[in-house]
A and B are shown apart, each in its own frame.
Chain A
Amino acid sequence: MGNVKIGDRVTRKEDRRFLTGSGRYVDDLQLARVTYAHFLRSPHAHARIKSIDTTKAAASPGVVAIFTGKDVAEAKVGGLICGWVVKDKHGNPHKAPAHPAIALDTVRHVGDTVAMVIAATADQARDAAEKIEVDYDVLPAQIDLATALDPKAPQVHADAPGNLCYDWELGDKAQVDAAFAKAAHVTKLDLVNNRLVPNAMEPRACAAEYDRGTGNYTLYTTSQNPHVARLVLSAFVLGIPEHKLRVVAPDVGGGFGSKIFIYPEETMCTWAAGKIGRSIKWTAERSESFMTDAHGRDHVTHAELALDKDGKILAFKVDTIANLGGYLSTFATAVPTYLYATLLAGQYTTPVIYCNVRAAFTHTTPVDAYRGAGRPEATYVVETIVSKAAREMKIDSAELRRRNYIAKDAFPYQTPVALTYDSGNYGPILDQAMKLADYAGADARKAAAKAKGKLRGVGICSYIEACGIAPSAVVGSLGAGVGLWESAQLKFNPTGNLQILTGSHSHGQSHETTFAQIVSDKLGIPLDQIEVVHGDTDKVPFGMGTYGSRSLPVGGSAIMRAADKIIAKGKKVAAHLMEASEADIVFENGAFKVTGTDKNVPLGQAVFAAYVPHNYPADLEPGMDENAFYDPSNFTYPSGTQICEVEVDPDTGNVEIVNFVAVDDFGNVVNPMVVEGQVHGGIAQGVGQALMENAAYDKATGQLLSGSYMDYTMPRADDLPSFKLGYEVTPCPHNPLGVKGCGEAGAIAAPAAVMNAVRDALSAVGAQDRIEMPATPQRVWAAINAH
C-alpha cells in the first residue's frame, strides 16, 4: 500500500492476522514448562474465613502448589493499590483499606480470591480447587448502595467507618443556593445509573515466566497499559526491580476500561512463577469475569436544576452516592469525582454548579472506569434533567438546549467546575442531528404510531467529554499517582522502513493503521513500510497506555513530535549530502530540498546515509532514531448530539429503536472508517446500558444474579438498528494533530438519548418518571401499568 494521508479511509493493517486466526492473544501463547492456575472464589459476599484445609487438594493429580492468603502475607506480597488519592471536603485523603491479592481472613464480595491452585493442566487445577475445604463464618452483607452509608449498615472495612471512602465536593454551594432562590422554575430528579460489566469478548488472561538464570520475570497479560502494570507490580506490590520485570500485552481482545487495572490474578501468577520456578498460565472463565472484572457506573443521584422563566439555566446542584464495591480498584476514586463532577456543566453556560459525592464501600465486585468513566454518568444526569425541565416548562427539548449552549466565540470557556473547554461549536451539530433524524417530522410519526396502538418518543442528548487524559501537572494536582504524557519512538532501518514504537496500546482501536497513517502523511513513506510496535515494555521506552480516548490526542501527538525530530535530523544529513546550509533545506513530499533549486535528497537516501556515514562530518551523529515524550497543555473536549427515536409496545413493554443519529465533533479525523467504527461500538454499549444490561445482586445474600451471558443481557445484532452518523469539525487548538478523541462518545451520550426517548414515549401515558435504566420490557410494562 502506498502513501496515505490523514483523513483517508484506509483499511486496516491489522486485519489480515485477525481474519485468518493468526492473532496472538494471551491464551494463544504456548509457554515451555507451563503449569495452569485456578483461583478458588468466595461463594459468599461477606464472610470470615475460619480455616482453609488444602490437604486433599494438594494430593490431587497434577497439583504443583497451592497458595492461600496466609502464604501471600508471609511472603510480604503487597496489597493491590489505588493510584489516585482524592482528598475529601475537609482535605483528608480517602480511606484506603488493604486489598490483599488473596483474602487473608475476610472475603468481601462473591468471587473474592480465596486460594490459588497450580497444576499440570487447567482441568487438574480446577478439580483440585474443588477439594479445598474452607470453613466460612457467613456475615451480613451490605449490597444496596442507597443504604450503604446508613450507620447501621454492615461494615465492609473496619478502617472505613460507615462504609464511607470519602465525602467530596466541587463548586460553590452558597452561590448555588442563592441562584436557586431566584429561579422561576426548579426541576428535581432522582436517578439510578445502573451497574454494568464491561465484557470485553476476550476474557482476562495472564501467563508468567521466571528465568532462574537471570532472575528476570515476564508477564504476558491482557492489559491496556503494560508499562503502568510493570510500574505498579514492581514498585508497589511484588518488589521486583522494574528492569527485571517485562510486561507484554500482545493482541488484546477489547478492554473498555476493564483491562486498565492491576488484578490479583496477574499479581499472583507473577509471584508464584518465581516461587515454583515454572511458567504459569491463567485464563478467566466468563463466569469468573463477571465476578472479578471491575464493574462500571453504579450511582444513585438526586439533582436539581434552576431555570429562569425563559428556560435559561441559572444553577445546578447534584448529590451522588457512588459505589466502589468491596475494595478500591486501581483508579476507582477518580471516576466519580474528577471524571464525573467536572463534566456537569455539559454544553451549557450554567453559571454556578455544586456537586457532592459520597463514595461507598459495599460487598460487591470493585467498581472502576468503564467506557467513558464518569463522563457517561455526568451526561446522563445533565441530559436527563434538561429534558425533564423542557417537558415541565413545555419548551421544545432541542430549543431549551440551544438557548443554553456555550457560544462558538466563547472558547476557551471556563466552566464553574474546574475545566476550561478548548473549542466547540454546538449549534450546527444540533442542526445536523435534527436534520438527519427528521426531528421536524417526529410529531407526525408519533401520531401515526398512536393510531396503531404504539407509543413513540424522541430523545436528545448533547454531550461533552473531557478526554485525552492529561496534562501531568493537572492530574497530579488532582491526586493522580502518575504523569499522563505519552511517548513515541520512530526507528528507521537503514533500508528506509520504519517502526513506530508507541506507549499507548491497541486493543481494537486500530492504532497499527492510524498511527502508521499519520507518519505516512507526515514523512511520505508508504504504509506498508511502516510497522507499529506497542504493548511490550522491553521494546517501547515507556507509556501510559490506552484509556480515556488518549491514544490519538496524546499518543498521536507524541508521534508527530518524534516525526518533527526525524525531519530536523534529516535536514542535517541532507545539508551535508547536498553541501548546502541546513537553514536552506525544506522537507516536502518525502524529500529534503534546497530552497530555490531542484536539488533534493529523498528521505530514504538520508536514512541510508545516516546508517552508512562514510565521509560524515565529526559533529553529525549517525543513525535515524528519535524519541519524543508529549505532555499536552489541556484535556481535549469532543462534543456531539445524539437523537434517538423509539417505539414502545404498551402491551409488552418492548422498546424498539427505530432511528438513531449521532453527530460528533472529534476535531480533525485521521481515519473516518475507524472513527465511525468507534462510534458504532460506543453507541451499542450505551444502548445496552439503557435497555438491557444490568449487574444485579440479590440484596439479601449478595449473590450476583447476572453472572453469565444467560442472565446478563448483552446487545445482540437484532437489538440494534444501523446508525446514522454526521460530523462537525472544530480542530483541537492545542495538539499538533488537531484531534480530540472518539472512543467513548457513543457510550457517553447514548444512555441519555435512549432514555429521553423512552421517557418521551411514556409521557403520553404519564409514566415518564417511573422508569430507570435498563428500560427492560418488564420495567416499561410495569411503568405503564402502575397506578
Chain B
Amino acid sequence: MTMSVAMTVNGKTVSGNVEARTLLVQFLRETLGMTGTHVGCDTSQCGACVVHVDGVSVKSCTILAVQADGSKVTTIEGLAESPEKLHPMQEAFRENHGLQCGFCTPGMVMSAIDLVKRHNYAVTEEIVRHGLEGNLCRCTGYHNIVKSILAGAQAMKAAGV
C-alpha cells in the first residue's frame, strides 16, 4: 500500500509517496537522497541513524516514515550553519578527534546534542557515557567521543544553541 507523507526536513518542506512499511531512515536516504543518516544494524541497537524529530533524538530505523508525517526532522545535514561554520558539537568532535571512520558519527553527534540539551548543558563524563548507551562506535574506544561531547556542551552553552 502506498501512502503520501509530508514533513519538514532541515527547514524545507518535503513530501513523497512511500510504501506503508517504509522506515523514516529509508525515506530520508532513498526518497530524499539524504545519505548522512546511516544504517548500521537491523535491531535498533547501533544508533547510526539517529535524527531529531520535533527536537528529540530518535532512531530513524525505529519509526515509519508515515509516523513522522507533519513533523520537523533535523538530520546531520541540517546542523551546520554553512559548510564553513559547523555546529559547536560538530566542531568539538573535530577538535577532539571524536571520529575515525565517520560512519557512526552522524548518529553520535545527533545523540550528543539532545543529551546535552536534556541535561541543560550540565553533563559529566558519567552522564555522557551512560547517555551514549544507544550508540555504538567501533573505532574510537569512546574516549575521544566523551571528550568531544563534554567540550561540545560547553561550546553549545557559550553559543546559546
Bound complex: CA of A674 vs CA of B139, how far in Å? 11
- In the assembled complex, the CB of A517 is this many whole angstroms from the nearest CB of chain B, namely 14
Contact check, A718 vs B42: say whether CB atoms are below 8 A apart. no
Give the residues in chain A near B141, CB-CB below 8 Å.
680-685, 715, 720, 723, 746
Shortest distance from the beta carbon of B59 to any chain A beta carbon, whole Å: 12
User: Which chain B positions have C-beta within 8 A of A583?
Assistant: none
Cβ contact of A710, chosen from B33, B37, B43, B138, cutoff 8 A: B43
The answer to whether A681 and B139 touch across the interface, beta carbons within 8 angstroms, is yes
B-contacting residues, A13-31, CB 8 Å: 14-25, 27-28, 30
A residues in contact with B137, CB < 8 Å: 201, 717
Contact with A along B15-47 (1 / 0, CB 8 A): 000010100000001000111111111110110
**Does A365 reach chain B (CB closer than 8 Å)?**
no
Q: Looking at B38, B97, B99, which has the most chain A CB atoms within 10 Å of its CB? A: B97
One of A21, A200, A202, A510 near B36 (C-beta < 8 A): A21
Query: Which of A252, A684, A746 contacts B101 (CB under 8 A)?
Result: A252
| B-contact 0/1 string along A1-40, CB 8 Å cutoff | 0000000000110111111111111011010000000000
Interface pair A19/B101, CB less than 8 Å apart: no
A355 to B23, CA, bound (A): 53
Q: Mark A358-369, 1 if CB is under 8 A from B, else 0.
A: 000000000000
Q: Given the complex, which residues of A lie within 8 Å of B135, measured CB to CB?
A: 716-717
Bound together, the chains give a CA A714 to CA B138 distance in angstroms of 9
- Measured CB to CB, the nearest residue on chain B to A289 is B41
Q: Does residue A147 face the partner (Cβ distance < 8 Å to B)? A: no
B40 and A203 contacting across the interface, CB-CB below 8 Å: yes
The interface bits of chain A over 742-760 (1 if a CB of B lies within 8 angstroms of the residue's CB, else 0) are 0000100000000000000
B80 proximal to A (CB < 8 A): yes
Residues of B within 8 A of A27 (CB): 29, 35, 39
Cβ of A256 under 8 Å from chain B: yes
Q: Flag if A201 contacts B40 (CB, 8 Å).
A: yes
Considering the complex, give the chain B residue whose CB is closest to the CB of A723.
Answer: B143
The answer to whether A254 and B94 have CB atoms under 8 Å apart is no
Is A135 interfacial (CB-CB < 8 Å)?
A: no
Checking B33, B48, B79, B132 against A718 with a beta-carbon cut-off of 8 angstroms, the contacting residue is: B132
Q: Is A20 in contact with B76, judged by CB distance below 8 angstroms? A: yes
Whether the pair B93, A717 counts as a contact (CB closer than 8 A) is no
**Cα–Cα, bound, A28→B103 (Å):** 11
B125 at the interface (CB under 8 A from A): yes
Contact between chains at A201 and B94 (CB < 8 Å): no
Interface size bracket, A side = 35 or more
Q: Tell me if B38 and A202 are in contact (CB < 8 A).
A: yes
**Which A residues touch B138, using CB under 8 A?**
199-201, 254, 256, 681, 684-685, 714
| Interface pick from B1-9, B64-72, B104-112 | B104-112
* In the complex, A509 has a CB within 8 A of chain B: yes
**A702 on the interface (CB 8 Å rule)?**
no
In the complex, chain B residues whose CB is within 8 Å of the CB of A24: 35
A676 B40 Cβ-Cβ under 8 A: no
Main secondary structure of the interface of A (DSSP, over half): loop
Evaluate whether A709 and B136 lie within 8 angstroms (CB atoms) in the complex, with A19-B90, A19-B109 already known.
yes
- Pair A253/B103 contact, Cβ less than 8 Å: yes
Is A708 part of the binding interface, using a Cβ–Cβ cutoff of 8 Å?
yes
Enumerate B48-88 residues with CB–CB distance to A below 8 Å: 48, 75-77, 79-80, 83, 86
* B105 in complex: contacting residue of A18, A203, A676, CB < 8 Å: A18
Report A-chain residues with C-beta under 8 Å of the C-beta of B86: 16, 19-20
A756 to chain B, nearest CB (A): 20
A123 at the binding interface (Cβ < 8 Å): yes
**CB atoms of A254 and B45 under 8 A apart:** no
Determine if A19 and B93 form an interchain contact, defined as CB atoms under 8 angstroms apart: yes
Q: Chain A residues with Cβ under 8 A from B105's Cβ? A: 18-19
Whether the pair B79, A717 counts as a contact (CB closer than 8 A) is no
Q: How many whole Å from A19's CB to the nearest CB in chain B?
A: 4
Q: How far is the CB of A461 from chain B (nearest CB, A)?
A: 17
Pick the most buried of A15, A23, A685: most chain B CB atoms within 10 A of its CB: A15
In the complex, chain B residues whose CB is within 8 Å of the CB of A508: 100-102, 139
Interface status of A286 (Cβ within 8 A of chain B): yes
Q: Max chain A CB contacts within 10 Å: which of B29, B40, B133?
A: B40
* Shortest CB distance A33–B (Å): 16
Give the residue of A14, A25, A681, A682 whose beta carbon is less than 8 angstroms from that of B103.
Answer: A25
A507 within 8 A of B: yes
**Interface presence of A766 (CB below 8 A):** no
Q: Does B13 contact A (CB under 8 A)?
A: no
A680 pairs with B144, CB closer than 8 A: yes
A709 touching B45, Cβ below 8 Å: yes
B29 CB contacts on chain A under 8 angstroms: 27-28
B106 to chain A, nearest CB (A): 5
Residues of chain A with a CB closer than 8 A to B19's CB: 123
Inter-chain CA distance A509–B101, complex, in Å, is: 7
Chain A residues within an 8 Å CB radius of B145: 717
A673 at the interface (CB under 8 A from B): yes
22 residue pairs of the A-B complex, CB under 8 angstroms, read A15-B94, A15-B99, A19-B80, A21-B35, A21-B36, A23-B103, A27-B35, A201-B40, A201-B139, A202-B40, A202-B103, A253-B101, A253-B102, A253-B104, A254-B101, A677-B140, A684-B140, A708-B43, A709-B45, A714-B138, A716-B133, A716-B135
Write the residues of chain B forming the contact surface with A, with a CB cutoff of 8 angstroms: 19, 21, 29, 33-43, 45-46, 48, 75-77, 79-80, 83, 86, 90, 93-95, 97, 99-106, 109, 125, 128-130, 132-133, 135-147
B-contacting residues of A (Cβ < 8 Å)? Answer: 11-12, 14-25, 27-28, 30, 123, 199-203, 251-254, 256, 283, 285-287, 507-510, 673-674, 676-678, 680-685, 708-710, 714-718, 720, 722-723, 746
Having A123-B21, A684-B140, one finds 8 other A-B pairs with CB under 8 Å, namely: A203-B40, A286-B42, A507-B101, A708-B42, A716-B135, A717-B130, A717-B132, A723-B141
Q: Which 10 A-B pairs have the closest CB atoms?
A: A21-B36, A18-B102, A253-B103, A508-B101, A684-B141, A680-B141, A709-B45, A28-B35, A21-B76, A508-B100
